Chains A and B, each alone.
Chain A
Amino acid sequence: MRLEPRTQVPLALAIAAPASAIVLALLLAAIPLLWAEVSVLEAYGLIFKGALGSRFAVTETLARATPLIFTGLAAAVAFRAKLWNIGAEGQLYLGALTAAAVGTGAVTLPGFAMIPLVLIVGALAGALLMLIPTILKLRLGVDEVVTTLLLNFVVLLFVSMMIEGPMKDPMGMGWPQSEPIVEAATLPKLVARTRVHAGLILAILAGIAVWIMMQRTTWGFEARAVGASPAAARFAGMPVPRVMIRVGLISGALAGLAGVGEVAGLKGYLTLDLSPGFGYSGIVVAMLAQLNALAVIVAALFVAIVFVGADFMSRAIGVSNYLANLVVATSLLTMLLASLATRYRLRWR
């Protein structure tokens, strides 16, 4: 068996590959469902219904997709330049923390200035956090995978310290959570009495902006070249360290924005269960999208459907909602296989 590089990728294959990856993941995830002795069709029907079956379900899915678009973009931008930012979870929390710090009364401005302010400080916090591993990588050759992963734990402990300490809500009945953010800093709802908020619009705009940057600008050109071949990029005269730092800052900022959205748009205050692993799911989103920023929006929707739907299914028939994580993890692995199929042809001799 060997792999032979394809000279061109037919459009049909480029579309069929991710689709079949998702189908394969759903088929594999049927195994645990069979084990749980539930009807596979019923379970998937419930997932679909729970995620898309009603107006409310759709708004829930969109709300869930919002942070996933941001973290998916964060991973897609960084991975394209082969900067392995696995720290989106930490950057998300630090973004949320600064948004909460600024938005709970530290500064009072009218709404038109307050919302941009929390967005900017949140993005900045995420960006600066990612700056640390990027610089360690460039200056000292420290592998960024491990540093970003470890920093996630440090940030989470830091957030815990802050909301049990200086930022603790005195009215929170002893729960470790921040004070609610002020009205002026709250992102407006897109649909009244639901959880979809303006963050979704921002996320989609961010997706378009990232796509334009990567495909149409010199920054994207540099990032793609550095990712595909650092040696050739350096030889050609590209400022490789500067490109890496820029990519790291953008990636961290996007992850930080995910945190701002959750605090200022969805929850209204900061807790330690703000993110059920959005940072890690973002990696799956990015890979499902083959690192294409526009496709990230679609992939985030898919992952959101799985999560929201699985919650619903879990309540309805009592199968653990960890099934959602299983489907998502499996689809990442099947997507990897699909990406292989688009690049290589399998020869059996």
Chain B
Amino acid sequence: MKDNRAPEDFVLRLRGITKRFGALLANDAIDLELRRGAILALLGENGAGKTTLMNILFGHYLADRGEVLVAGLGGGLAPLRAGSPSAALDAGIGMVHQHFTLADNLSAFENIILGTQSLFRPWLDRGSARRKLEKLMAGSGLNVDLDAAVGVLSVGERQRIEILKALYRGARILILDEPTAVLTPQEAERLFETLRRLVAQGLSIVFISHKLAEVMAVSQRVVVLRKGKVVADLATAETDAAHLAETMVGRAIPKTVRTAMAPGAVILELDKVRVAGVHGRPALKDASLSLRAHEILGIAGVSGNGQVALSNLICGLQAPEGGAVSLHGQAVALGSPAGMVAAGVGRIPEDRLHDGVVGDMAVWENLALEDYRKPAFSRASFLRRDAARAHARQSIEDFDVRCPGPEAATRLLSGGNVQKLILARVLTRAPMVILANQPSRGLDIGAVTEVHRRLLDARARGAGIILISEDLDELLALSDRVAVLHRGVLSASMATEEVTIRQLGLMMAGHDRQEPAHDAA
């Protein structure tokens, strides 16, 4: 694409955007420009301030300082009224959030036209809306079943609805926040094709990501954020992934090194386990796996394909409908979280703020949450508060949990520190089986490295670990073996060295490992 257009070809300009949350400077005097018909990548690790910036642009947050200029239909840049999503929408900005914003009780069609007609209109105009939408779907190649209830649609379909929502409103600028996080590699590729087509039709796109490969693949320009500041703004063609990586992190990226290790005895075995899902359909169908000591077994899959059921089973939240589970060769009481803890299973939940900690309780209380009935923490039903606090101080030190002290309310901790708290609670007990569900999601690189190191240490100590993750790079880096979940079916496991990301992607989409030929280009 030639880039010889005049400066008025900018459709979006951010000037000096500054945003502070308490002590945290999330955005520090950020400048950013987007050209018409271009894809701009906003690169940065978790916590760098990308999402905050886009939330300011879209009016969810108010900036402390700075302004946003948007091109009108005529072309000239004009200031955007701050703090109002509807002003942003009117100015032609469309946003696809990382966590989709769809109402499950409405159909795809209703979600798209929601808020597009005056609330004082006496009648919902479905006919013309539908015609316009069908034209749009044909033009963009984004196809969805408009009458389906959103609650039953797949992640990919939901994302297409989100993009259609923006296009239907006539968006001229589309912001995509980590759009590939939940897709298979092939689905991501398809998304990129759609984006290229839309750009050719005149759309301008801001693509937020922390994945270098896709930034290189899809963007013309890349802006790198680190700790709330713009640290680089360059043409994609003039840089490479290695340089971007270093710019993004600010230092050489610590590489996760998994040393080869001979697996030990089988410690956890699932034999044809069936777990019920929501509408009576099984969420996990006859899943079998065996986990050995000194081994990490990675579970790949698009979210919503049975990960919750597998995790619930091993966390003790759900009992299976059939099949057998044995720990160290013995049957184990299922469907009881306390039973699993007692049996020596360490559990790192997917949603750490919802399931992992009680936000309103103190750090020391959360550290004792699984063990408060043990003699170390209570005697004759009375809590041994001093012992628990002392234990907490030790854990805080050992696991480097950054907090004012054991009395601090847990809800005030950052995501990374909450995760360290959970790791401290789980790993101090030296469990032989560990379930880690999305253990590094949303963490910055420092915290991710720490999580990985702790898991590898546990493996070295002799634990077997089941790692459920949507991040294929993480899976391949940590796992000795990988299996794929698709529609509740767990594949046989494969040695990590023998699979490629592409193969995993096909299996995640439901293809058999052996014969992906018809899809290969």
A interface list, Cβ under 8 A from B: 4-5, 7, 216-219, 221, 224-225, 228-229, 231-239, 349
Contacts and interface: CB of A to CB of B under 8 A. Distances in A.
Interface stretch (B97-105, B135-143, B350-358): B350-358
Interface of B: 22, 62, 315-317, 336-341, 347, 349, 354-361, 365, 369-370, 372-373, 378, 381-383, 385, 411-412
A239 to B, nearest CB: 7
The 3 closest A-B pairs by CB, nearest first: A237-B338, A236-B369, A237-B337
A231 B22 contact: no
Given A5-B411, A218-B381, A235 B361 contact: no
B358 A237 contact: no
A217 B356 contact: no
A235 B356 contact: yes
Contacts of B339: 237
A217 B382 contact: yes
A221 B365 contact: yes
Given A7-B412, A218-B372, A218-B373, A232 B383 contact: no
A75 B459 CA distance: 48
A7 to B, nearest CB: 6
B62 A228 contact: no
Contacts, number: 70
A231 B347 CA distance: 14
24 contacts: A5-B411, A7-B22, A217-B383, A218-B378, A218-B381, A218-B383, A221-B383, A228-B358, A229-B358, A229-B359, A229-B360, A232-B356, A232-B357, A232-B369, A233-B358, A234-B317, A235-B315, A235-B337, A236-B341, A237-B338, A237-B370, A238-B338, A238-B369, A239-B338
Nearest to B412: A7
A231 B354 CA distance: 6
A233 B354 CA distance: 10
A229 B360 CA distance: 8
B516 to A, nearest CB: 38
B417 to A, nearest CB: 14
Contacts of A229: 354, 357-360
Contacts of B373: 218
Given A232-B358, A234-B317, A349-B62, 4 more contacts: A218-B382, A225-B369, A229-B357, A232-B369
Contact of B347 (A219, A221, A224, A235): A235
A131 B382 CA distance: 25
Contacts of A236: 337, 341, 369-370
A228 B359 contact: yes
B372 A221 contact: yes
A5 B24 CA distance: 14
Nearest to B347: A235
Contacts of A4: 22
Most interface-central of A224, A233, A237 (chain B CB within 10 A): A237
Contacts of B316: 237
Contacts of A225: 358, 361, 365, 369
Nearest to A213: B381
A138 to B, nearest CB: 16
Nearest to A347: B62
Contacts of A219: 381
Contacts of A228: 358-361
Nearest to B337: A237
A237 B360 CA distance: 18
Given A216-B382, A218-B378, A228-B360, A235 B355 contact: yes
A229 B369 CA distance: 12
B355 A216 contact: no
